[in-house]
């Protein structure tokens, strides 16, 4: 058994009004992948930020390589050999890939930055990771998955002893996830310590050796992944066991409410056709970048379509803005909660009531009573964990922010609900709650489109599945015919093997 | 709002010199004249005020506060001859005596307008000065202050009048440009004049900022001796160029006298020695008497001409 | 046992004190609190120095010197709150005043003159909006250019001339009083407008949307807020209000020249940010801006009363602007530290 | 391929094209406008704008703005001129350095307020814009310093020639080259881009926002201080209104030069071109035969048109980029 490279003793962190971490102990060993597990808001990301010098702990000790250390900023942690892929997007969109990777530890020669060397090393890294990105491309012109790979490359560009990955897979395609696993195994071989945060148990089982569970900022326990069942971990996480992950209710499928014909947006997707029925959950699967989001954005009036028609209950839907879409009974839960979903600097109340602000106003005046009602009803439905309805959304953990987004769209009481990666970054318990809720709503006649990159979720929840690949529809399967093999084949572009 | 100023016993009279803007040597010298008059009169407190940038609105705001503190008299060098009228009327209704000096207010807005010199005299003299320098021939450009400056515009009209005289038959005014009383823009405009008219013989700049910037521009462009410059300038600011010959001669009235005379006139009006009617003669200390002319306009005298020989003496004063 | 109790109660006392302090602290940390304090201080100082300050007539009359800038500040609140900026306000005033002079010199009556001014103002605002919203050029860039453009139009046509003839009754807007009182019409007019703005901002859905846009335009758009329409409206509103200001100002000074209201855009923006509206959008209240309007207005007036030089005035307002932002930051920092300390003690 | 470079090239190419079109248009109305000595005159006249514009550029790059540059120019210019006046014997290089040091201090003051006081840059510099201007009045007691009170050597600071170019042009060239290098090849330079691009991400890699704010404001102050000395020496007059409104000119130069006003994007060459564009307008307006009353209108119109064309071209190249990717 190898040495503890990193030990935490009694780490405590206060935010005004919140005790985010309460006496956390952690043992990280070299050559091991250690999973950090916990519900949304358990304190995982906060812990990461303490380890990387972004936050200073209120109390507690950090022992690194047998010595007490404290970091005043991220640079000091980096110089000690700790690097991280943060949960929040941390790219510089206007700057090149090479520069994004080397920001903070540029390569210098004779006092000046050596761009040639940095470009060269970037190419090497890219080769090692088997991805094809030009080091000079500005990051803003990369897709989400590519960006994420750049983030990973950035962490690897530092010769670190401890590599922290905070939900690194949430925006990656299957191939890239495999790639990441290879990288992690390689790092392990190089005797590095890896801290891996994820809400997906398959990943933890696949790649992690040991784990620590946090709950409400407290240390709950640790163990070996091989010796522990998922049920045991879940029980440690939530304090109880969960019955069912994908509580799909019997569907009562009604008439067609939405019919999309040959919808095309140049450069994004082509000839997309499908029907959505009342009471149905229509799953959209594809690899990240398949163009599902863009189809949904177009239907919701955010982007302009170039060709094709959308029929709502038989009548052509002509909309140019989300406001119009909402009036027609559509709702869209966007995939990027940080910039599209929540307004970070506003209270939960204001967030939840924003889409319905006109509905709860009379002659322009907002009714405080209705506002309270709406917040209470839908906020409670989602079991949001927060100090109150008045706190700003930026004080919530990622998962809880996602719940706020869901609550705010449910408040519009839509006929058609489009969910884009609704459980991205959400913990198991909440995920189950969301699933149960969606399925219940569908049971009451709501038509649901669910875009997801999580295969179990798609298979478990959908009545029908549409699969996309590089902007085209490559398959449509009923619940009965769908298997993970078939779906993945279509998602990777093997159209001929799936009849549609 | 018929507020009348009550008699105030032996409180000194508050007489305000309100200038176009602060930070201008000309007006600082005006302020000195005001102090001189106050010292001479004994019962007068001379107050020097002006906005930080030369706007009518800034002057109006100051006048409102002068009304509120019930000063006794205000002499104004106006940034706008019309815009000040409503507020100065209000001041006069409140019992404050208002006159204008240097840059006038239209008759409805003041009792007396003390002009340093007749616009006609100034305009004609400027043309004469440049003619003497250029030998009565060549193209002449005019570099003015802002295009809104009323006193400058009036003088320029007279310049065009004067040049019609046959003795100037070989001279023409080719263009009027505006430097907005900013050093860099005036400089650029002066350079522009020289570029546009390669045969330019002289520049008249009837504004202190302009004449200074134009002199510098002539020097920098190596046109000293080829392009003559005259205008209205402060001796202390222009000494360098007058002494080195860039500017052969220029004119100005004495700003100290202007401040002095304004204060004297106001004191006479406040104490009721005169009413400021047409024909009234006001005795103004060392400056003798000033006669109130048509429309309340009073003239102080002909602008004084400065040249190499006398500038050092005056530079020490203003 | 006894000792323990007293300890406990004295502890509570300390806590009570702390709470009181922190309450005052949190009031101070609120922008409006700071402004109120400064205003009180100002009144005390001035009323001790000069007998003319606390004089009902003077206090009323002084409002003439800042009500127009105050009116211009109102739409700027909306603009800044939604994350935009507009520095062409003063130029629109010039253009609008010019068009009124033009109309008047062609025989228009008071009503027509006013309508002309408002219409031209609103059009100029729409012109800005088209470039900013439809063509996507940054607001500061557009309004920087239109600043010269709008004023330039009136200068090109009016040259060195002035319009000095306005209908008799036109002078009421900027010079008149509420009949039978010495309350200026401009003051009441502003207060009514401010009331409407406060209502819209703090009680209506339009206000909510403004804040939402200022905090995150993307999230607002995804939530069905017609972001661009609202921003467009704001710029037109700004133009319209610049037109209103042009009416008031032209009426007050009875004449129009192209350099009218020079530099007012920055003064109005200063009022808004001093009033606590975050320059990056999404934060601020009308109350703060109203306080800052009266603070700056009376401060300048008071300094004028004691004949302080204009240079002292600009230094003072500069410092005021910075300290008003600094104080809450400092109090907030101290407050946070105390709070954390207390939290730690409680465990 | 090299998308960023391509786009940059495009943006600057647009601007160069606009400059050429403008210059040719002017020379049809004012022959001789494109002659060598006039071109050098324009560059000379634009040098100050280039230097201060580059200072402004770094501030805007972080998403801030420095509205106090005009006042810093006035104050440091006045202080330098008064130093020269009171002791004409002092070597001018010392005065030049003193002027720069004063500018640096004023800039540092801005930087401290922003970095430690957490005051947004626009508010901090709106405040110091008044304060520094007011102090200029206080310092000068309302008086000017003019030619006869300045030593010959002082007035020759900007005019001295070297290899056929004036010192003023040389200093602009030096500032441009140095700061281009700084922006591209130093760690601090890149950190400025990082802060402007994504503050959170910058924090994650250990970039100190405080340090960056201190650097950019000091630099802007230093350059304004240098410009102040040059200004008063060039026009042989230190007045209180020096450079009033100049801050907006520098912002306009940046915006025209393709600097993203929200921060994170832009480059030194663009700023230089933007400044030159404005410099040409400023120098052309006095020589073309338009009524002087049209100047303001024409200036506004041309700047608006240039921004419009710039934006349209940018959008088109961006669209092309998206199409290519698809
Ligand atoms: N800057 C902050 N200010 C105040 N509270 C914060 C701040 N950052 C985090 N918190 C709080 O600290 C707690 C821990 O948050 P953290 O982001 O570490 O959770 P997490 O375990 O990463 O959750 P998730 O799985 O959703 O990412 C939460 O209650 C959160 O609301
Ligand atoms: N923030 C962004 N800025 C610029 N381009 C983006 C951005 N996000 C996504 N794209 C581009 O849009 C395309 C698709 O986006 P993304 O990778 O999110 O997949 P998607 O369309 O959401 O598909 P799916 O939902 O199937 O994952 C990609 O080509 C990507 O480059
Ligand atoms: Mg997290
Ligand atoms: Mg997607």
Give pLDDT, residue B4.
41
- For residue D6, being part of any structural domain is answered with no
Residue keyed to tokens 């003669």: B281
SS3 of residue B267 by DSSP: helix
Query: For residues C139 and C155, what is the distance between their CA atoms, to the nearest angstrom?
Result: 24
- For residue C10, being part of any structural domain is answered with no
- CA-wise closest residue to D62 among D111, D129, D132, D4: D111
Q: Indicate the pLDDT class of residue D5, thresholds 50, 70 and 90.
A: low
- pLDDT tens digit string along D46-73? 999 999 999 999 999 999 999 999 999 9
CA C227, C230, C231, C233: dihedral to nearest 10 degrees?
A: 160
State the distance from the centre of ligand 1 to the C-alpha of A397, rounded, in angstroms: 4
The DSSP line for D210-231 is HHHHHHHHHHHHHHHHHHHHHH
Query: Closest-lying ligand to the alpha carbon of A269?
Result: 2
Give pLDDT, residue C14.
45
Q: What is the mean pLDDT of residues B278-302?
A: 85
Query: Closest-lying ligand to the alpha carbon of A49?
Result: 1
- Whether the per-residue pLDDT at B148 is higher than 80: the answer is no
State the distance from the centre of ligand 4 to the C-alpha of A9, rounded, in angstroms: 40
Shortest distance between the Cα of D113 and any Cα of chain C, in A, equals: 8
- pLDDT tens digit string along A302-347? 998 999 999 998 899 888 889 899 999 999 999 888 889 999 889 9
CA A251 from centroid of its chain's CA atoms: 28
Window A:308-347, CB contacts with D under 8 Å: none
Q: How far is CA A332 from CA A325, A326, B220, C151, D276, in A?
A: 9, 9, 68, 46, 48
Q: Which residues of B touch C (CB under 8 A)?
A: 1, 3, 22-23, 47, 49-53, 55-58, 60-62, 64-70, 80-87, 106, 146-150, 153
Residue C22 contacts A, CB cutoff 8 Å: no
Give residue ranges with CB within 6 A of ligand 2: A 143-145, 286, 288-294, 451
Say how many domains are in chain C: 1
For residue B51, list chain C residues with Cβ-Cβ distance below 8 A.
310
Local structure of residue D63 (DSSP, 8 states)? T
Rounded to 5°, angle at Cα B185 from B182 and B188: 145
State the distance from the centre of ligand 1 to the C-alpha of A404, rounded, in angstroms: 14
CATH architecture, domain defined by A255-492: 3-Layer(aba) Sandwich (3.40)
**Could you tell me which residues are beta bridge partners of residue A307?**
A264
Instruction: Extract the tokens encoding C342.
Output: 């207390």
For residue C132, list chain D residues with Cβ-Cβ distance below 8 A.
none
Instruction: Extract the tokens encoding A179.
Output: 């790639």
Residue C106 contacts A, CB cutoff 8 Å: no
Query: For residues D259 and D5, what is the distance between their CA atoms, to the nearest angstrom?
Result: 15
Q: Is the dihedral of CA C304, C310, C314, C315 positive or negative?
A: negative
- For residue C35, being part of any structural domain is answered with no
Contact assignment for A302 to C344 by CB distance below 8 Å: no
Local structure of residue A284 (DSSP, 8 states)? E
Query: For residues D243 and D238, what is the distance between their CA atoms, to the nearest angstrom?
Result: 10
Give pLDDT, residue A245.
64
- pLDDT tens digit string along A411-445? 998 999 999 988 887 888 888 888 888 888 888 88
Say how many domains are in chain D: 1
Residue C307 contacts A, CB cutoff 8 Å: no
Contact assignment for B57 to C62 by CB distance below 8 Å: no
Determine the residue of A11, A43, A170 to mutate for testing ligand 1's pocket, defined as the one with the most ligand atoms within 8 A of the Cβ atom: A43
Kindly list the averaged pLDDT for each block of 10 residues, start to end, along chain C of length 347: 37 50 60 87 93 92 95 97 94 97 94 97 98 92 93 91 91 93 95 96 93 94 93 98 98 93 92 89 91 95 90 89 81 76 68
Q: Which of the other chains make 3 or more beta carbon contacts under 8 angstroms with chain D? A: A, B, C
Contact assignment for D239 to B240 by CB distance below 8 Å: no
Tell me what the pLDDT averaged over chain D comes to: 88
Domain boundaries, chain A: 4-241, 255-492
Give pLDDT, residue B212.
93
Give pLDDT < 70 ranges for chain A: 1-2, 241-247, 495-500
Run of H or E including C28: helix C2-29
> For chains A and C, what is the number of CB pairs under 8 angstroms?
85
Largest Cα span, chain D: 69
Give pLDDT, residue A431.
83
For residue B176, list chain D residues with Cβ-Cβ distance below 8 A.
292
Query: For residues A194 and A83, what is the distance between their CA atoms, to the nearest angstrom?
Result: 10
For residue C200, list chain A residues with Cβ-Cβ distance below 8 A.
364
Query: For residues C301 and A473, what is the distance between their CA atoms, to the nearest angstrom?
Result: 72
CB count within 10 Å of CB A158 equals 19
- CA-wise closest residue to C84 among C201, C210, C208, C202: C210
Give pLDDT, residue C229.
95
Give pLDDT, residue C7.
36
* Atom 14 of ligand 2, residue of closest alpha carbon: A289
Find the domain containing C145 and state its range. 40-326
pTM: 0.89
The DSSP line for A151-198 is HHHHHHTS--SEEEEESTTTT--HHHHHHHHHHHHHHHHTT-EEEEE-
Query: For residues A448 and A464, what is the distance between their CA atoms, to the nearest angstrom?
Result: 11
Q: How many residues does chain C have?
A: 347
The DSSP line for C106-137 is TT--HHHHHHHHHHHHHHHHHHHHIIIIIS--
Closest atom of ligand 2 to A142 CA is 31
Which residues lie closer than 8 Å to A36 by C-beta, 6 or more apart? A44, A47, A48, A195, A196, A197, A211, A212, A214
Instruction: Extract the tokens encoding A304.
Output: 């302009």
Preferred mutation among C134, C135, C140 to probe D, highest tally of D CBs within 10 A: C140
Shortest distance between the Cα of A228 and any Cα of chain D, in A, equals: 34
What CATH number has the domain bearing residue D147?
1.10.3470
Query: For residues C218 and D101, what is the distance between their CA atoms, to the nearest angstrom?
Result: 44
Q: Do chains A and B touch (3 or more CB pairs under 8 A)?
A: no
For residue C278, list chain A residues with Cβ-Cβ distance below 8 A.
none
Query: For residues D23 and B87, what is the distance between their CA atoms, to the nearest angstrom?
Result: 48
Are A212 and A219 in contact by the 8 Å Cβ rule? The answer is yes
CB count within 10 Å of CB A495 equals 15
Residue A59 contacts C, CB cutoff 8 Å: yes
State the distance from the centre of ligand 2 to the C-alpha of C212, rounded, in angstroms: 25
Contact assignment for C152 to D299 by CB distance below 8 Å: yes
Query: For residues D92 and D152, what is the distance between their CA atoms, to the nearest angstrom?
Result: 10
What CATH number has the domain bearing residue C92?
1.10.3470
Query: For residues B133 and A414, what is the distance between their CA atoms, to the nearest angstrom?
Result: 88
A4-241 classified as CATH 3.40.50.300: yes
Query: For residues A328 and A319, what is the distance between their CA atoms, to the nearest angstrom?
Result: 9
Query: For residues C76 and D173, what is the distance between their CA atoms, to the nearest angstrom?
Result: 40
For residue B181, list chain D residues with Cβ-Cβ distance below 8 A.
241
Run of H or E including C29: helix C2-29
Query: For residues C106 and C84, what is the distance between their CA atoms, to the nearest angstrom?
Result: 37
Give pLDDT, residue B7.
47
- For residue C192, being part of any structural domain is answered with yes
Which residues lie closer than 8 Å to B314 by C-beta, 6 or more apart? B235, B236, B304, B306
Residue B238 contacts D, CB cutoff 8 Å: yes
State the distance from the centre of ligand 1 to the C-alpha of A17, rounded, in angstroms: 12
- pLDDT tens digit string along D89-115? 889 899 999 999 999 999 999 999 999
Contact assignment for C215 to A343 by CB distance below 8 Å: yes
Query: Closest-lying ligand to the alpha carbon of A40?
Result: 1
Q: Is the dihedral of CA D255, D256, D260, D263 positive or negative?
A: negative
- CA-wise closest residue to A332 among A225, A455, A242, A415: A415
- pLDDT tens digit string along B66-88? 999 999 999 999 998 899 999 99
Q: How far is CA C160 from CA B300, C154, D145, D231, in A?
A: 26, 10, 31, 29
CB count within 10 Å of CB C169 equals 13
Contact assignment for C55 to B69 by CB distance below 8 Å: no
Run of H or E including A6: strand A4-15
Contact assignment for D146 to B212 by CB distance below 8 Å: yes
Residue D85 contacts B, CB cutoff 8 Å: no
- For residue D319, being part of any structural domain is answered with no
Q: Indicate the pLDDT class of residue B5, thresholds 50, 70 and 90.
A: very low
Q: What is the mean pLDDT of residues D190-203?
A: 92
Query: For residues D146 and B318, what is the distance between their CA atoms, to the nearest angstrom?
Result: 13
Q: Indicate the pLDDT class of residue D41, thresholds 50, 70 and 90.
A: confident
Between residues A109 and B129, which one has the greater pLDDT? B129
- Whether the per-residue pLDDT at D6 is higher than 60: the answer is no
SS3 of residue A417 by DSSP: strand
Contact assignment for B80 to C50 by CB distance below 8 Å: no
Give pLDDT, residue C10.
39
Find the domain containing D182 and state its range. 13-20+31-313
Residue A116 contacts D, CB cutoff 8 Å: no
For residue B240, which phi and psi values (nearest 5 degrees)? -55, -50
Closest atom of ligand 1 to A396 CA is 31
Query: For residues D114 and D128, what is the distance between their CA atoms, to the nearest angstrom?
Result: 12
Query: For residues B144 and B160, what is the distance between their CA atoms, to the nearest angstrom?
Result: 14
* β-strands A193-197, A162-166 pairing: parallel
Query: For residues A348 and A86, what is the distance between their CA atoms, to the nearest angstrom?
Result: 24
Give residue ranges with CB within 6 A of ligand 1: A 15, 18, 20, 38, 40-46, 87, 395-399, 425, 427
Residue C314 contacts B, CB cutoff 8 Å: yes
Query: For residues A467 and A493, what is the distance between their CA atoms, to the nearest angstrom?
Result: 9
Query: For residues B70 and A433, what is the distance between their CA atoms, to the nearest angstrom?
Result: 76
């Amino acid at each position: 058994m190898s040495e503890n490279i990193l030990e935490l003793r009694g780490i405590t962190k206060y935010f005004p009004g919140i005790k985010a971490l309460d006496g956390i102990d952690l043992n990280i060993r070299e050559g091991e992948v250690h999973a950090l597990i916990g519900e949304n808001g358990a304190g995982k990301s906060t812990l990461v930020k303490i380890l990387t010098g972004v936050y200073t702990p209120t109390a507690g000790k950090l022992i690194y390589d047998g010595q007490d250390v404290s970091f005043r900023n991220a640079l000091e942690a980096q110089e000690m050999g700790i690097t991280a892929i943060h949960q929040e997007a941390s790219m510089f969109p206007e700057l090149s890939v090479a520069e994004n990777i080397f920001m903070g530890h540029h390569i210098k020669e004779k006092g000046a930055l050596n761009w040639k060397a940095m470009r060269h090393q970037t190419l090497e890294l890219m080769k090692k990771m088997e991805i094809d990105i030009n080091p000079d491309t500005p990051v803003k012109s990369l897709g989400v998955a590519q960006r994420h790979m750049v983030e990973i490359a950035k962490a690897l560009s530092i010769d670190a002893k401890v590599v922290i990955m905070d939900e690194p897979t949430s925006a990656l395609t299957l191939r890239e996830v495999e790639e990441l696993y290879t990288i992690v195994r390689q790092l392990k071989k190089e005797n590095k310590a890896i801290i891996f945060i994820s809400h997906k148990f398959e990943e933890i089982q696949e790649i992690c050796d040991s784990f620590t569970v946090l709950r409400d900022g407290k240390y709950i326990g640790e163990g070996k992944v091989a010796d522990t069942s998922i049920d045991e971990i879940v029980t440690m996480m939530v304090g109880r066991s969960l019955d069912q992950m994908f509580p799909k209710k019997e569907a009562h499928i009604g008439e067609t409410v939405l019919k999309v014909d040959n919808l095309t947006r140049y450069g994004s997707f082509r000839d997309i056709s499908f029907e959505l029925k009342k009471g149905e959950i229509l799953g959209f699967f594809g690899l990240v970048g398949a163009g599902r989001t863009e189809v949904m954005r177009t239907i919701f009036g955010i982007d302009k379509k170039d060709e094709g028609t959308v029929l709502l209950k038989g009548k052509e839907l002509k909309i140019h803005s989300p406001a119009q879409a909402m009036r027609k009974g559509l709702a869209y839960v966007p995939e990027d909660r940080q910039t599209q979903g929540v307004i970070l600097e506003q209270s939960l109340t204001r967030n939840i009531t924003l889409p319905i602000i006109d509905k709860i106003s009379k002659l322009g005046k907002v009714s405080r009573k209705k506002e309270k009602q709406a917040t209470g009803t839908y906020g409670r439905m989602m079991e949001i964990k927060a100090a109150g309805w008045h706190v700003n959304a930026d004080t919530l953990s990622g998962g809880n922010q996602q719940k706020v987004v869901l609550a705010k769209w449910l408040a519009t009481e839509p006929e058609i609900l489009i969910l884009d990666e609704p459980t991205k970054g959400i913990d198991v318990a909440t995920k189950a709650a969301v699933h149960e809720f969606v399925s219940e709503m569908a049971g009451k006649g709501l038509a649901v489109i669910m875009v997801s990159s999580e295969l179990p979720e798609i298979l478990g929840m959908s009545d029908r599945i549409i699969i996309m690949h590089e902007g085209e529809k490559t398959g449509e399967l009923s619940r009965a015919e769908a298997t993970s093999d078939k779906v993945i084949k279509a998602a990777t572009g093997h159209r001929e093997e799936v009849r549609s | 709002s018929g507020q009348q100023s009550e008699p105030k016993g032996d409180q000194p009279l508050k007489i305000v010199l309100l200038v176009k803007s602060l930070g201008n040597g000309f007006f600082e010298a005006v302020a000195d004249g005001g102090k001189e008059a106050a010292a001479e009169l004994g019962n007068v407190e001379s107050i020097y005020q002006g906005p930080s940038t030369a706007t009518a609105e800034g002057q109006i705001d100051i006048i409102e506060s002068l009304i509120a503190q019930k000063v006794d008299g205000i002499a104004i060098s106006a940034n706008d001859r019309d815009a000040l009228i409503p507020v100065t009327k209000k001041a006069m209704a409140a019992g404050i005596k208002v006159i204008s000096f240097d840059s006038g207010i239209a008759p409805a807005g003041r009792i007396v307008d003390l002009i340093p010199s007749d616009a006609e005299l100034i305009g004609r003299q400027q043309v004469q000065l440049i003619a003497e320098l250029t030998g009565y021939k060549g193209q002449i450009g005019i570099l003015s202050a802002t295009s809104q400056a009323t006193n400058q515009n009036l003088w320029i009209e007279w310049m065009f009048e004067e040049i019609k005289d046959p003795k100037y038959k070989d001279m023409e005014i080719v263009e009027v440009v505006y430097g907005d009383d900013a050093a860099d823009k005036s400089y650029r405009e002066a350079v522009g004049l020289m570029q546009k008219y390669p045969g330019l013989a002289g520049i008249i700049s009837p504004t202190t900022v302009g004449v200074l910037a134009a002199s510098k521009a002539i020097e920098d462009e190596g046109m000293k001796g080829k392009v003559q410059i005259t205008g209205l300038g402060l001796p202390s600011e222009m000494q360098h160029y007058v002494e080195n010959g860039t500017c052969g001669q220029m004119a100005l009235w004495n700003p100290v006298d202007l401040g002095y005379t304004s204060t004297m006139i106001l004191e006479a009006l406040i104490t009721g020695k005169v009413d400021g009617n047409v024909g009234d003669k006001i005795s103004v200390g060392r400056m003798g008497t000033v006669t109130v002319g048509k429309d309340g306009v009073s003239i102080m005298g002909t602008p004084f001409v400065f040249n190499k020989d006398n500038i050092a003496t005056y530079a020490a004063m203003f | 046992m006894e000792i323990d109790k007293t300890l406990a109660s004295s502890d509570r006392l300390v806590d009570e004190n702390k709470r009181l302090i922190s309450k005052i602290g949190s009031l101070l940390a609120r922008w409006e609190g700071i402004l109120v304090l400064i205003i009180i201080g100002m009144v005390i100082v001035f009323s001790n120095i000069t007998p003319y300050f606390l004089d009902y007539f003077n206090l009323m009359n002084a409002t003439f010197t800042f009500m127009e800038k105050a009116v211009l500040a109102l739409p700027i609140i909306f603009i800044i709150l939604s994350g935009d900026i507009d520095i062409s306000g003063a130029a629109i005033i010039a253009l609008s005043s010019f068009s009124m002079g033009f109309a008047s010199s062609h025989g228009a009556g008071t009503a027509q003159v006013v309508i002309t001014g408002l219409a031209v103002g609103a059009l100029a605002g729409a012109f800005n909006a088209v470039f900013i919203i439809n063509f996507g050029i940054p607001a500061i860039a557009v309004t920087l250019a239109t600043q010269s453009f709008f004023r330039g139009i009136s200068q090109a046509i009016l040259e060195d001339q002035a319009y000095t003839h306005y209908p008799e009754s036109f002078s009421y807007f900027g010079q008149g009083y509420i009949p039978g009182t010495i309350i200026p019409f401009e003051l009441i007019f502003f207060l009514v407008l401010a009331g409407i703005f406060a209502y819209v901002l703090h009680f209506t859905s339009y206000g909510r949307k403004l804040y939402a846009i200022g905090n995150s335009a993307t999230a607002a758009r995804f939530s069905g807020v017609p972001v661009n329409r609202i921003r467009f409206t704001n710029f037109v509103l700004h133009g319209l209000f610049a037109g209103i200001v042009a009416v008031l100002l032209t009426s007050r000074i009875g004449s129009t020249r192209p350099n009218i209201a020079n530099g007012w855009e920055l003064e109005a923006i200063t009022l808004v940010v001093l009033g606590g509206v975050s320059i990056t959008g999404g934060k601020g209240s009308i109350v703060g801006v109203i306080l800052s309007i009266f603070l700056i207005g009376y401060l300048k007036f008071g300094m004028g009363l004691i004949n302080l030089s204009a240079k002292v005035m600009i230094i003072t307002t500069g410092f005021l602007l910075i300290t008003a932002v600094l104080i809450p930051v400092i109090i907030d920092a101290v407050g946070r530290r105390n709070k954390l300390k207390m939290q730690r003690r409680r465990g | 391929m090299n998308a960023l470079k391509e786009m940059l090239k495009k943006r600057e190419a647009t601007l160069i094209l606009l400059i050429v079109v403008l210059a040719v248009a002017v020379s049809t109305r004012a022959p001789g406008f494109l002659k060598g000595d006039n071109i050098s005159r324009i560059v000379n006249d634009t040098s100050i704008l280039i230097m201060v514009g580059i200072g402004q550029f770094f501030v805007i790059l972080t998403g801030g703005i420095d509205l106090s540059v005009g006042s810093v120019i006035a104050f440091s210019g006045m202080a330098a001129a008064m130093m020269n006046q009171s002791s004409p014997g002092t070597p001018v290089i010392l005065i030049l350095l003193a002027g720069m040091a004063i500018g640096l201090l004023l800039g540092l003051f801005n930087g401290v307020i922003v970095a430690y006081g957490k005051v947004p840059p626009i508010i901090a510099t709106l405040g110091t814009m008044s304060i520094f201007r007011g102090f200029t009045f206080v310092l000068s007691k309302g008086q000017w310093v003019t030619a006869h009170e300045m030593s010959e050597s002082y007035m020759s600071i900007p005019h001295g020639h070297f290899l056929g170019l004036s010192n003023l042009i040389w200093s602009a060239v030096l500032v441009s080259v140095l700061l281009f290098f700084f922006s591209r090849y130093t760690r601090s330079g890149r950190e400025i881009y990082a802060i402007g691009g994504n503050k959170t991400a910058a924090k994650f890699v250990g970039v100190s926002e405080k340090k960056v704010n201190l650097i950019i404001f000091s630099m802007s102050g230093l350059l304004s201080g240098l410009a102040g000395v040059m200004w008063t020496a060039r026009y042989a007059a230190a007045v209180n209104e020096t450079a009033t409104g100049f801050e907006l000119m520098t912002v306009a130069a940046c915006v025209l030069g393709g600097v993203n006003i929200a921060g994170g994007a832009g480059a030194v060459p663009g700023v230089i071109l933007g400044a030159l564009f404005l410099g040409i307008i400023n120098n052309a307006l006095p020589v073309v035969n338009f009524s002087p009353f049209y100047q303001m209108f024409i200036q506004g119109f041309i700047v608006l048109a240039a921004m419009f064309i710039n934006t349209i071209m940018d959008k088109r190249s961006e669209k092309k980029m998206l199409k290519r990717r698809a």
